[in-house]
Structure formats: C-alpha cells, structure tokens
Amino acid sequence: MKVMTVIGARPQFVKAAVVSRAFKEHRKDVQEVIVHTGQHYDANMSDVFFDDLKIPKPDFNLGIGGGSHGRNTGRMLEKIEALIINESPDCVLVYGDTDSTLAGALAASKLHVPVAHVEAGLRSFNKRMPEEINRILTDHVSTFLLAPTNTAKDNLFKEGFKKDNVFTTGDVMCDATLFYREMAKFPKEISSDHHDLSDFVLCTIHRAENTDEPARLKEILKGLGRCNKKIILPLHPRARSKISNYGIRLPDNILVIDPVGYLEMVWLESHCKMVATDSGGVQKEAYLLGKPCVTLRDETEWVELVSSGWNRLAGSDAELISGLIESFPAVAERPSLYGDGNAGKEIVNLLKF
C-alpha cells in the first residue's frame, strides 16, 4: 500500500519520525510518500529534525509558509489535491492540529481517500485557538481516528464518532521521548559563558493566544522575570518578532537562545529543574522526563497531566507563574499516561489494511 504523509510544522516532524521508523520495518508492504507543506521552513525549525531524527527527505516540498491561516490552508489544499490525484495513495496520514493537518485531511477526504489522523480527539474546548478548529474539522473528515489517550477517545465518542473508526494507540510523542532521550545532546546554542546550568527553568512560548496579545505576553515575561532562577528560552521565531514589535524588554534572568533541535531539546528537558511552557508537546515531555510543568495557558488538552499534579495551569498571571516556579507543590507518583513507547508500531499495524 501507499501512504501519503502530510507534515509541515515542528511538532509534526517529531511525530512523523516515530511512525516513519515503524513504516521502514514494513518497507516491503508499505511505501511512504512524504509531503512537506513548508509551513515551518527555517533550518532550525525544519531541516534539523529531518537530519537528527533520520526522517526520510520529503518527496515533495510545497514551500508554503509565512502567510495567514486562510491563505496558507488554501494554497496547501490546492497543491495537495493535485499530488493526491497524481500519486493515488491508499491513505493520507496527518498529524496534530496545524493548517497542514487540515489541508491534507480536507484534500484527501474530498477525493474519497481515507484519512488517518494521529492525535485525534484532543480538545481544549476553546474555539478561539486556530488549532482547535483544525482538530475538530480534521477529526470529522477522518476514517481512522488515532487517539493518544482514553480521554481523547471519550471526547470523540461524545461527538458521535462510531467505535469502528476510533483506535486508542498511545502517544507517538511518548515513543519519541523514550527513544531519543538516549541520544540527547548539549545545545550548541548555549555559549560557554553559560555552562553552569545546575538550576534552570526551561521555557517555551509560541501559542498565538500569548504571542498575539501584548498584555498577556508582557505579564508572562514579568512572571518569569520575578523568579530567582535562570530561565532558558529557546525562542520561536513568531514570539521573537512579536517581543521585538511590542518593544518588550526581556528580564535579565532570561537567557534567550535560538530554537534548538529535538535532541538538544530533550537534553534541556532532562537537565532542567522544571518547565514553563504553552506548548502541547513540551508539557508531555516534561512529565515523561519527571519535571514539574507550569503551563502558560488557561486550559490544556492534556488534562491528565493536570490531574496527576505534575502540571499546573498558570495562564498569564505573573504572580501565579512566579509563585509556582519558586515553589511547585510536591508530587510523587507518575503513572504511565501515554503508552509504553509502541504507539508508532500500533498505528502502522492499524493502517496496513
């Protein structure tokens, strides 16, 4: 069979690395055609992931990035549709919740090609998030809804999906963390002046709800600045340009570095004291590596992290952010929430129809 994988953004490269590795074990039966939409195009947001995680080079790169949601999604839709017609895949595989996910799913479903959605059923219940719109629409045109957790599966059942289409597979990001942590490496983005990294907080900020709201972004940075700890912030290009456009001065305890590759990110996550983030993937990686996480959002799709006690929602409340970083309520038990590292294999077995 032929599977067309449509990816375009950083977290999708991490997820696709896991499933592509599982596909390779079935290379006699399955041909994977990789389409990179170009949504993320900087070397440190794209190429480094293909190189470090040994993802096969994309068969097609659509070069579509940098525009608005509507423009990007529309242009992707047109090009992916043409590729599906030419390539005739048996299935189109999409990941997560970006414009690339939606474009791939919509193009395939209108051509009656089955769509498999990895990370189906996640919900923030906040439709102001572009990701929430992408997730809901993608799920509703998918044939194979690959839910990472029981919570995600239950969300789908509540929306009326049939049991036959929903599969709980575990989380491919858990597979990635378990597999790549052995290969973690010190980030070259940190200069030797800063090699004393005994007690630092790892922070990421990129969600539109934070970067596109100057007041929220200022409050978050104020909260981080009030802490008595060094903060390492690999800064997403969007957040960087917004901080500069808003004229925000970064507090002195924050060390801003360029975005790092996944292996460096896992190093930082493994060596930090704790994590503060608005990223979905980083919240889970913090848990998997045993680090408390202050989530810089008002809600999370990964609700089991909050129930476990390892994740606290701080929104953009400066006092709450600094308070939690200074003294995070202790937690002990860390049950397995995301599977045993075999989600990729599970997904490939399901798709070999």
Catalytic residues, by residue number, are: 206
Structure tokens that stand for 282 in this block: 């980083």
From candidates 8, 58, 104, 259, binder to ligand UDP by CB under 6 A: 259
Residue 251 burial class via C-beta count within 10 angstroms: exposed 0-12, middle 13-18, buried 19 and up: middle
**Cβ proximity to ligand UDP, 223 vs 234, nearer residue:** 234
Binding to ligand UDP by residue 262, rule CB under 6 A? Answer: yes
Stretch that binds ligand UDP, among 6-14, 107-115, 159-167, 192-200 (CB under 6 A): 6-14
Q: Which is nearer to ligand UDP, 261 or 341 (CB)?
A: 261
From the list 27-35, 280-288, 294-302, 321-329, the region that binds ligand UDP by CB under 6 A is 280-288
Question: Which strands form 254-257's sheet, in the order they lie side by side?
Answer: 254-257, 230-234, 200-204, 274-277, 293-295, 311-313
8 interacts with ligand UDP by CB under 6 A: no
- Output the CA torsion sign for 255, 39, 181, 171: positive
Using CB under 6 A as the binding rule, whether residue 282 contacts ligand UDP is answered as yes
Angstrom distance (rounded) from CA 18 to CA 113? 23
Q: Which of 43, 336, 312, 334 is nearest to 174 (CA)?
A: 336
Q: Does 285 bind ligand UDP (CB under 6 A)?
A: yes
User: Would you count residue 10 as binding ligand UDP (CB under 6 A)?
Assistant: yes
Contacts of 327 (CB under 8 A, 6+ apart): none
- Least gap, CB of 139 to ligand UDP (angstroms): 16
Alpha-carbon distances of 37 from 63, 225, 268, 343, rounded to whole Å: 6, 37, 28, 24
Least gap, CB of 333 to ligand UDP (angstroms)? 24
Residues that bind ligand UDP (CB under 6 A): 10-11, 14, 204, 206, 234, 259-262, 265, 279-282, 285
